[in-house]
Structure 1
Amino acid sequence: MNDLDAIDRAILATVQQDGRISNARLAERVALSETPCARRLKRLEADGYIGGYRAALSRRALGLGVMAFVHVRFAVHDRALSERFEREIQAIPRIVSCHNISGSADYLLTIVARDLDDYGTFTRDVLRALPGVSSIESMLSLREVKPDAGVPLL
């Protein structure tokens, strides 16, 4: 991060906010001409500061009205079991994020569902059947106060 100057940071902030911005508009916003701006953007991509581009979809418009944060606990802490659990969750689209965490739980999952009935069925039929899972604790989002705005450029 120390290798980034103010222009690099401005480029990152701008493309994080609008990944479809044209190079001409980006160059204008960061006060560069187009060619140096394009070169910097390519370097930031090549150096791994930009991991990819994607659209931010509206889960509500897609009919996914429930967002749950789930603590998953294991009774037995076995590396092979954890690796199997992690492999299996990769294939479940409605688990939108998974973090191996410290504290009273082993993993924190973010899960989306159409409604509470759909979430209940998913919990019963999928979550509880994952390898290693001994207990789960669900916390349902009542209202999103601050959506994921990307990574801060400190």
Structure 2
Amino acid sequence: MTQLTKVDRAILQALQRDARQSYEVIGATVGRDASVVSRRIAALIKAGVITGMAVNVDPLKAGLTTTVYMLVMLDDHGDEAFAKFEAELNAMPNVVEWARMQGVNDYVMKIQAQDKEHHIRLHAHLRGLPMVRRVRTLELLGQPHTKLTPLADSD
């Protein structure tokens, strides 16, 4: 695990809020000059702490009015079945997040669909995969709220 300094955490928080900020603006926020910010960001990228910078898209304004979570149980719990199922998930653009889990279900995934009918088609596709035993849907009452990644104190 990479030890983050107070300055590193402040830079990361600034980037999480708005990654388009200039190094000068971030530097003014964290009390360092732009060259220090540039070096720290490069070091955080090299260490794998920063894995990319992306644009957040409002799903509703992009035409994705339905967000659901699905729980999937597989028939087979071998490595090959997991790999095949994960390849299917990675090939489905509307599966925006997934994770393997412990317990009754094997996977949880977040689906963003155009509407209820689109969600039903995605559900049917997953249910039709040969390695899938069961699919359960958790319908959300509105869009999920996403917060910034918390950055633990290490100093």
- Using the aligned pairs only, state the percent identity: 28
- Indicate the residue corresponding to 1:134 in structure 2: 133
Cα shift at 1:2:
6.0
User: Is this contact kept in 2: 1:94–1:111, CA < 8 A?
Assistant: yes
The 3 A distance-change label for structure 1 pair 54 and 99 is same
Aligned residue for 2:7, secondary structure, equals helix
Listed as ranges, the matches of 1:2-17 within 5 Å are 3-17=3-17
User: Is this contact kept in 2: 1:16–1:150, CA < 8 A?
Assistant: yes
| Ranges of 4+ aligned residues in structure 1 off by more than 6 Å | none
| Distance in structure 1 (CA, Å) of the matches to 2:14 and 2:57 | 19
Q: Which amino acid in structure 2 is aligned with residue 25 of structure 1?
A: V
Question: What is the CA RMSD across the aligned residues, in angstroms?
Answer: 1.4
The runs of 5 or more residues in structure 2 that have no matched partner are none
| Distance in structure 1 (CA, Å) of the matches to 2:127 and 2:15 | 39
- Indicate the residue corresponding to 1:44 in structure 2: 44
- Indicate the residue corresponding to 2:73 in structure 1: 73
| Distance in structure 2 (CA, Å) of the matches to 1:20 and 1:30 | 16
Q: What is the TM-score of this pair, normalised by structure 2?
A: 0.92
Q: What is the TM-score of this pair, normalised by structure 1?
A: 0.93
The runs of 5 or more residues in structure 1 that have no matched partner are none
Q: Deviations over 1:99-144 (max 9, x none)?
A: 00011100001101111111112211x2112341111000011123
Listed as ranges, the matches of 1:1-154 within 5 Å are 3-124=3-124, 126-144=125-143, 147-154=145-152
| Distance in structure 2 (CA, Å) of the matches to 1:102 and 1:7 | 36
